[in-house]
Amino acid sequence: MTARAASRLAWVLFALTVLCALGGAVLLIANRPMGAGPFVRDGLVPDAVAVTYAGSGAFIAVQRPGNRLAWILVLFGLGFGLTDLAAEYAVRALVTAPGSLPGGPAAAWLQYPFFGPVFPLLLPLIVVLFPDGRLPSRSWQPLVWLTGIAGLGITAAGAFSQGPLVSAFRQVSLGSNPLGVLKLTTAQTIGLAIVQVAVLVLAAAATLTRLVRSTGVERQQLKWLALAGAATAICAGASFVVGGVAGQVVLDAMIVLLTVGFPTAIAVALLRHRLFDIDTVIHRSLLYAALALFITGVYVAVVAGLGALVGAGGQPSLILSILATAVVAVAFQPVRERLQYLANQLVYGRRATPYEAMTELSHRIAGQLPADEVLPSLAEVTARVIGSPSSRVRLHQPGGQDLLACWPPGVDVTGPIDTVGVVSREERVGEISVQQPFGEPLTRSQRTVLSDLAVQAGPILSNVRLTSELRRRVDEISARARQLRESRERIISAAEAQRRRLDEEIQGGTQRQLEAVAARLGEAEELLRTDPARGGELLNRLADQAQVALDELRDLARGVFPPLLADRGLVPALEAHLRKVGLPPGLEVDAALARARFDPDVEAALYFCCIETLQHAARTGSETPSAIRLVAAAGWLELTVPAPSPTGLGDVTDRIEALGGAVEPRPGATLLARIPMGAAARYA
Amino acid sequence: MVLRNFRLTAALHVRLDDITRQEAELRRSRQRTVAAQDAERRRLERNIHDGAQQHLVALAVKLRLAGSLAHRDTARAMTLAAELQWETRQALATLRELTRGIYPPLLAERGLGAALRSQAATMLIEVDVAEHGLGRAASAAEYAVYFCCLEALQNSAKHSAATRVLVRLDIDDHELRFSVSDDGRGFDPQSIRQGSGLRNMHDRAEAVGGQLDIRTARGCGVTVQGSVPMLAAEAMQ
């Protein structure tokens, strides 16, 4: 059934009920001379019940077509309407104007099928299905079957038992049951009544368990029903105790509660309109009742109690009345405050109003700053306060991914949701969304609460954002510091390794050559004595060897730090190196840079970057076809070196980065090392 | 609530400032390290150039000369050859000294105590190295401590007018501790801008996760002490 068809059906049933009630009322007025009880109470109240229940049922059904409770309320009202119409019709046809209308006995009998199910069947169902139209749990399913059987059984037993027929609400005698075939004993009648009461008690027990387990919205809904029920029960109890005019007032109050109070409470609870005001209502009721009790108590105590003591003899004393009034006047304010406090404690527990609860919860949230604590709390508060089954909070992070938190945790909130933006200092910092059950859109008051919540969430989210931004930056800089530390370690250990290597090279090369020379010098001296020619030859060979040792040492020294680099700068040093190693790549330099001088650190870093990259390429046996380029571009000094395999050049990178520069592989198997001109400090 | 938030945010700000300062200091330290290394390389190159290289040049020239004189003036050649033997030994000694400065072989072979004693022997002041059964640490840690102690010793020798320097070395499961104290005139820590030598010591110690502390006052000598963790030093290897 579509929502549209459902609402149409609901309104049709309501219209039918109204017609029945109108018909019943018209006939009632026509039948006026007849009937036992008071005219209005017994005659018009059923019509009022029919209209209010069917009306509130239809109203709920239109908004919550899925809720079975709405339809049962409609049927409840319709049952009253049909019964009253049938009853008054039968009274008219059989008693007040016999023969004026056809089918009098049929109408009289139809009261049974119309009214039979209303109390034994529909009432327990209303109680057990409240508030969501579902049973509290599956284990209550047998109660529904029992209710159905009992309701139909009681209806059938009434419809087919022998005996006199009376009009339903006014007890006008309508002859005997034409279809009376059963003869029920008194015990059987009592048994049926017991079953009916038992079913109602069981339904009430089901609702009680629901109340015990309920939280949030459901609890508030149940409170509305409980309020109506409690008020009715108090009136019913009072009607037994109080007599006279007061008793009549109590009864009238009970009737108003039954006709208007219950359907209104049910409609408010189901439609969640000002749902959370229930606590306020209960609170006020308790407060005023207690105050009334206090005033009554003071008067009774002072006027009757003191009166008896001073021997006023049962006569009301003006002085005592004045005294009582004075006592009340003096004590009223402190007593009211005390009672208010007690009522607060009783009704709200630790929270005073939904808004104060929201405030308190946001205080709780404000104590926590990390996003992973605040966002879930906020989502939870939202769901609880709005009464939605699930909610989601989203935090926009500047330049980062949005952070999301859903409630209940782990639920993926997707699909149709209601969202309000959270704004702080005119900037949208996030949003709060709730997801309602299908067919239950947010009511206006829920929307109001949601936007109030969003306003409160503004500073909270903006704070979270600030904090997480700060944290992110702390993490970022910590990571950078760690990298720096590692880089510094690498630089130091690279230098250490280099010294070790240099040491080995000197020992293995120059030193060994020189030791060989030293070892043979004595021999040369001997030879000179005996054979100067061979001695001279040996000396020449040793001179060659010394020259080799010298050349090696020069190379090593140049590798340590080329004198040209210090004396004449980067470009001449690079040119000399390339000339020396005879590598194919040429050197392309901006004319302006050819003789330029830079900070010694920068010159050394770029020089060794170039040399080590070339050496690395040579070691890995790669061709280095492209030229080396040194250019000044947009504030950077850029060196492009052919680097067929840019891996394993960490030392180079560390050194360049230490000067605020960067090293990055470029297309065409080259490496681009650049250092900001500021750091390069050209001083040519 | 506002106050509390303010406090928390302020705390975070402080931490951010702290860590930013740390990061900047690290950046400067890395730059100083590189600059110090470059200076070291230049110094080393000059060392080689002015020392061993000059010896070798002279040797080669003399050898060539002796070779060419062998026929014409054998006696002169023989004199030269005799001189050359002595000069070659001198050149070799220079080379060995050079390599000892580049990377102390004793440090790798026999540890910190021996390496520092051998360096101390070349100095003009009296140096006691106090260490008993000092264990070995990772080479990065040992080298850092060696560098710091040597730098401190050289400072004492150059600036303090000290007569004695005491080097203490101590090792346990957690860290390698060192202290170098002299009996010189000290300096006012406020008045002296931290020179590159002192900063390099700090950088070297911190680079292996250690710390360094310089205590001095006018007339009270200087004590440089520090420690390098064993674990971090090993983790680096």
- Which residues fall within 8 angstroms of residue A152, CB to CB, at 6 or more apart? A117, A121
Yes or no, beta carbons of B53 and A540 under 8 Å apart: no
Owner of token pair 């090993």: B234
- Which residues fall within 8 angstroms of residue A72, CB to CB, at 6 or more apart? A57, A122, A125, A126, A129
Yes or no, beta carbons of A517 and B88 under 8 Å apart: yes
Give the closest-approach CA distance of B190 to chain A in angstroms: 28
Residues A234 and A117 in one domain: no
- Which residues fall within 8 angstroms of residue A197, CB to CB, at 6 or more apart? none
The answer to whether residue A366 sits within a structural domain is no
What tens digit of pLDDT does each residue of A315-359 get? 657 777 788 888 888 888 888 878 877 776 666 543 334 565 566
Strands A173-176 and A390-395: unpaired
What tens digit of pLDDT does each residue of B154-163 get? 888 888 888 8
Pick from A366-375, A424-433, A597-606, B118-127: least confident: A366-375
pTM of the model: 0.52
Closest partner CB to B34 (pick from A363, A554, A601): A601
Of B88, B90, B72, B56, nearest to A528 (Cα)? Answer: B72
Angle at which helix B105-121 crosses helix B139-155, to 10 degrees, equals 10
The answer to whether residue A39 sits within a structural domain is yes
Yes or no, beta carbons of A491 and B34 under 8 Å apart: yes
Residues A269 and A301 in one domain: no
How many CB atoms are closer than 10 A to CB A429? Answer: 24
Owner of token pair 């056809």: A102
Residues A194 and A228 in one domain: no
CA A620 – CA A104 distance, rounded (Å): 115
The answer to whether residue A184 sits within a structural domain is yes
Residues A174 and A104 in one domain: yes
Give the closest-approach CA distance of A554 to chain B in angstroms: 7
Please tell me if residue A40 touches chain B, with a CB cutoff of 8 Å.
no
The answer to whether residue A455 sits within a structural domain is no
Owner of token pair 């109070």: A261
Taking CB atoms and an 8 Å cutoff, what residues of chain B touch A678? none
SS3 string, A528-557, reads HHHCHHHHHHHHHHHHHHHHHHHHHHHHHH
How many CB atoms are closer than 10 A to CB A177? Answer: 20
Domain count, chain A: 5
Please tell me if residue A658 touches chain B, with a CB cutoff of 8 Å.
yes
What tens digit of pLDDT does each residue of B166-184 get? 999 988 888 899 999 998 8
CB distance A466 to B9 below 8 Å: yes
Residues A510 and A597 in one domain: no
Q: Say what the pLDDT of residue A413 is.
A: 67
Residues A82 and A176 in one domain: yes
CA A362 – CA B56 distance, rounded (Å): 83
CA A35 – CA A496 distance, rounded (Å): 117
How many CB atoms are closer than 10 A to CB A132? Answer: 19
Average pLDDT, chain A: 81
Taking CB atoms and an 8 Å cutoff, what residues of chain A touch B49? 557, 563
The CA-CA-CA angle for residues A288, A289, A293, to 5°, reads 115
Yes or no, beta carbons of B236 and A493 under 8 Å apart: yes
Please tell me if residue A549 touches chain B, with a CB cutoff of 8 Å.
yes
Enumerate residues 358 to 387 of chain A having a beta carbon within 8 A of any beta carbon in chain B.
363, 366-367, 369
Strands B126-130 and B164-171: parallel
Residues A201 and A121 in one domain: yes
Q: Which two tokens mark B104?
A: 């102390």
The answer to whether residue A513 sits within a structural domain is yes
The answer to whether residue A625 sits within a structural domain is yes
For domain B110-236, say whether CATH 3.40.50.2020 is its number. no
Residues A118 and A260 in one domain: no
How far from chain centre, in Å, is Cα A525? 99
Residue A654 has pLDDT above 90, yes or no: no
Residues A163 and A36 in one domain: yes
Q: Which of B5, B25, B65, B208 to mutate to test the interface with A (most CBs of A within 10 A)?
A: B5
Yes or no, beta carbons of B81 and A514 under 8 Å apart: no
Yes or no, beta carbons of A524 and B81 under 8 Å apart: yes
The answer to whether residue A328 sits within a structural domain is yes
Please tell me if residue A516 touches chain B, with a CB cutoff of 8 Å.
no
CA A487 – CA A368 distance, rounded (Å): 37
> Minimal Cα distance from A567: which residue of B?
B42
What tens digit of pLDDT does each residue of A3-31 get? 788 889 999 999 999 999 999 888 888 88
Q: Say what the pLDDT of residue A9 is.
A: 92
CA A123 – CA A200 distance, rounded (Å): 8
The answer to whether residue A586 sits within a structural domain is yes
What are the angstrom distances between the C-alpha of B219 and each of B154, B183, B193?
19, 8, 18
What range does the domain containing A607 cover?
Answer: 566-680
Taking CB atoms and an 8 Å cutoff, what residues of chain A touch B9? 369, 463, 466-467, 470
What are the angstrom distances between the C-alpha of B137 and each of A129, A496, A499?
79, 16, 19
CA A473 – CA A478 distance, rounded (Å): 8
Give the closest-approach CA distance of B188 to chain A in angstroms: 30
Pick from A41-50, A116-125, A479-488, B162-171: least confident: A41-50
Residues A584 and A544 in one domain: no
Q: Would you mind telling me the total number of residues written for chain A in this entry? A: 684
What tens digit of pLDDT does each residue of A414-434 get? 666 788 888 888 888 889 888
Please tell me if residue A528 touches chain B, with a CB cutoff of 8 Å.
yes
The CATH number of whichever domain residue A668 belongs to comes to: 3.30.565.10
Give the closest-approach CA distance of A466 to chain B in angstroms: 8
Yes or no, beta carbons of A507 and B99 under 8 Å apart: yes
Taking CB atoms and an 8 Å cutoff, what residues of chain B touch A659? 31, 34
Give the closest-approach CA distance of B210 to chain A in angstroms: 12
Yes or no, beta carbons of A528 and B71 under 8 Å apart: no
Of A548, A555, A602, nearest to A576 (Cα)? Answer: A555
Residues A203 and A233 in one domain: no
Q: Give the bridge partners for A673, in sequence order.
A: A639, A663
Q: Enter the DSSP assignment of A325.
A: H
Taking CB atoms and an 8 Å cutoff, what residues of chain A touch B44? 502, 557, 560-561
Taking CB atoms and an 8 Å cutoff, what residues of chain B touch A495? 37, 40
What are the angstrom distances between the C-alpha of A106 and each of A78, A113, A159, A161, A179?
19, 11, 11, 15, 10
Sheet with A418-424, edge to edge strand ranges = A403-407, A390-395, A427-435, A418-424
CA A479 – CA A474 distance, rounded (Å): 8
Residues A99 and A137 in one domain: yes
